[in-house]
Structure 1
Amino acid sequence: MRAVQVTEFGGPEVLKAVDVPEPTAGPGQVLIDVTRIGLNYADTHQVENSYQTLTRLPFVPGGEVVGRTPDGRRVVALLAGGGGYAERAVAEEAMTFPVPDGVDDLTALSMLVQGTTAWILLRKNAHLEPGESVVVHAAAGGVGTIAVQLAKAWGAGRVVATASSDEKRALALELGADVAVDSRADDMTATLIEANGRRVDIVLDMVGGTTTDQSVAALAPFGRLVFYGMAGRTPPKPVELRNLLGHSTTVAGMWLPHVFRLPGDLYGTALTELFELARAGGVRAVAGGEYALSDARAAHEALRSRGTVGKLLLDPTR
């Protein structure tokens, strides 16, 4: 079967479509005939071996697919060990979820990682309360587009979006943001406070660098910043705990795999609610572009340029 296999770590240039043996499902697993593959920014880190977990060569990247099982079920699945950039993939049955009628492939994949990430950031980490202000950095991205919509749906008093272009800022406003500002602002602290009219209550940040540093400085008393990625590839400054006393602020981190270590089924609750919201028109997925499997390199180049919006997909039939 055709798949994208990485035999050396590096940038998008190491992504090459080749023929590989077809995977087989073992006990507790299911084989999926893939119809679409979801891309995440984390995939770019995995390919260069800078992700939270180290990867061994050779490997097929990709952690999310939608398709059909041999018995005809339409499912979306998380692939903890990779293998998603392929015509067929094997998933653990426990990480495979039915796709309801009325939910298309784009929406299913948008909610699987980006949607659940936004849900957990706002509900579990930030504990959003009605009337609070929410800053969504990278608001036109996969997580950002959904986070803007959820924050408004859940009663945020003011949603401040940041994005790098007029087109992206217009998209954030269309999705419900109250104001959209340039993510390249020299002084993000002053920009956020001015946009909100006061210090901000919640910041969702996956950029890193000075964006994180200056966002922490913009927090109101009992404000919370949740850090869930480093798209800028520059780490923020270490947080001095004594400095948090100045405004009684909280800085938290979130990595989605940790959700599965919690008792109960928080992830399943989030995904089910998101699918229902999508079916009811309460949240929508934003298409960011569809690439042929053989063009995975171009897809990663687009992701790394940070010029994309919404959800990017790969088509395994091309």
Structure 2
Amino acid sequence: MRAIQITEFGGPEVLHVAELPEPSAGPGQLLVDVQRAGVNYADTHAVEDSYLSRSTLPMVPGSEVAGRTADGRRVVALTDGGGYAEKAAVQEYLTHEVLDGVTDEQALALVVQGLTAWHLLRTSARLAAGESVVVHAAAGGTGSLAVQLAAAFGAGRVIATASSKDKRDLALDLGADVALDAAPEDLKERLIEANGGRKVDIVLEMTGGPVFDASLAALAPFGRLVTYGMASRTPATPVEAAALMGRSRSVVGFWLAHCLGRPGMYREPMAELLAMTADGRLRPLLGGVYPLADAARAHQDLRARRTVGKLALDTTL
């Protein structure tokens, strides 16, 4: 079968098409004929071995697939790597049937980014009705869904940030109340101004560096900053316990891997997200489908912030 394999760590240039043996399904697994493979920002870290979990070589990247099982069911599934391929062996408990009216690309947008957005708001931030929510990278795969879910879950004000006017306009179209330039300069002051002069209750942050620092400074007492990425590849200023205690603020880390296998943290929210998509309450933003052989270009575009929404690879091309 065709797959994208890396034999050395690095940037997008290490992603190459290879002919590999087909995987076989072991106990508790299903073999999926992959139609679409999801591309996540975390994949760019895995390829250079800078992610939370360490990578080993040789490696087929990709943590999510959509396709059909041997008995013809349409499914979407998380994988333990190996997603950028024509076939993938997946754990049955991480496989979810796709509802009629939901496309493969939409389903892929939900299984990592959608679940992440859901848990950022429900599990980590514990959003209460009427609270203000800042969503950084609001035109991205997770951010675009977090904007919509925050509004659906009762946020009082949704403040989006994005790097271009087109992306900010898109965030407003998705339901944000206001959209700001993502530049870190004067970001604290601009977030407070966008919230009517009040500090904000919740920030969903995946950039790191000065954006993290400004976001933390903009938190109101009992505010929560949930960090789930470091796209800038720049570390934030270390957080002192006294600085949190003195203003009753919280910094919460989130990694989707810790939800898997825990009761109520995968299948139930996934079912809710699929139902919301099927009936039109949630609109996964689709950013583009690339031929499998163009995986490197997908990573280049993602890292350069040239994309919006969910990216996928078409394994049939």
TM-score (normalizing by structure 1) = 0.98
Counterpart of 1:108 in structure 2: which amino acid? A
| 8 Å CA contact retained: 2:184, 2:210 | no
Matches within 5 A, 1:1-318: 1-80=1-80, 82-197=81-196, 198-260=198-260, 262=262, 264-318=263-317
Report the residue type matching 2:218 in the other structure: A
Shift in Å, 1:246: 2.9
How big is the shift at 1:95?
Answer: 1.1
- What is the CA distance between 1:133 and its match in structure 2? 0.3
> 2:310, 2:8 → 1: CA distance?
26
Structure 1 unpaired stretches of 5+: none
SS of match in other structure, 2:4: strand
Per-residue deviation at 1:299? 0.2
**How far apart, CA to CA, are the structure 2 residues paired with 1:120 and 1:291?**
28
Please tell me whether the aligned partners of residues 185 and 191 of structure 1 are also in contact (alpha carbons under 8 angstroms). Answer: no
2:264 & 2:133 partners in 1: Cα distance? 26
**Aligned partner letter, 2:74:** R
Q: After superposition, give the CA deviation of every residue in 1:20-78 in whole Å (9 maximum; x if it has no partner).
A: 11111111111100111101000000000001111111010000000000111111010
Task: Give structure 1 regions of 4+ aligned residues with deviation exceeding 6 angstroms.
Answer: none
Contact 2:184/2:211 (<8 A) preserved: no
1:164/1:183 contact within 8 Å kept: yes
Q: How far apart are the structure 2 equivalents of 1:22 and 1:90?
A: 9
Q: Does the CA-based 8 Å contact 2:203-2:224 persist in structure 1?
A: yes
Pairwise CA distance, 1:185:
4.2
Distance 2:164 2:32 in 1: 38
- Structure 1 residue identity aligned to 2:252: A
Q: CA deviation at 1:230?
A: 0.5
Corresponding residue pairs, total: 316
Structure 1 residue 221: deviation in Å? 1.0
SS of alignment partner, residue 42 of structure 2: helix
The question of whether the paired residues in 2 share the 8 Å contact of 1:134 and 1:158 is answered with yes
How far apart in 1 are the matches of 2:247 and 2:178?
24
CA distance in 2, matches of 1:91, 1:217: 42
Question: Aligned partner of 2:296: which letter?
Answer: R
| Alpha-carbon distance in structure 2 between the residues aligned to 1:38 and 1:261 | 21
| Residues in 2 aligned to 1:146 and 1:217: alpha-carbon distance in whole angstroms | 25
Quote the RMSD (CA, aligned, Å).
0.8
Deviation at 1:261, TM superposition (A): 5.3
Distance 1:268 1:70 in 2: 22
How far, CA to CA, are the matches of 2:315 and 2:179 in structure 1? 36
User: Take 2:184 and 2:46, find their aligned partners in 1: how far apart are those partners?
Assistant: 29
Q: 1:206 Cα deviation (Å)?
A: 0.4
1:84-134 C-alpha deviation (Å, 9 max, x unpaired): 001111101111111111111111000100000000000001011111000
Aligned-residue offset at 1:245: 2.3
Identity of aligned residues (%): 61
Query: Would the alpha carbon gap of residues 242 and 261 (structure 1) be closer, same or farther in structure 2, given more than 3 Å must change?
Result: farther
Post-superposition offset of 1:260 = 2.1
| Per-residue Cα deviation, 1:181-232 (whole angstroms, up to 9, x for no partner) | 0001411111100111110000000000000011000001110000000011
SS state of the match for residue 86, structure 1?
A: coil
Whole-Å separation in 2 of the counterparts to 1:2 and 1:260: 28
Query: Residue deviations 1:251-288, cap 9 Å, x none?
Result: 100000011253x2221111011011111211111110
Shift in Å, 1:146: 0.3
Equivalent residues of 1:162, 1:181 under 8 A apart: yes
Supply the AA of the counterpart residue of 1:126.
A
SS in 2 for 1:265: coil
Shift of 1:247: 2.0
Per the TM alignment, residue 295 of structure 1 is displaced from its structure 2 partner at its CA by: 0.4
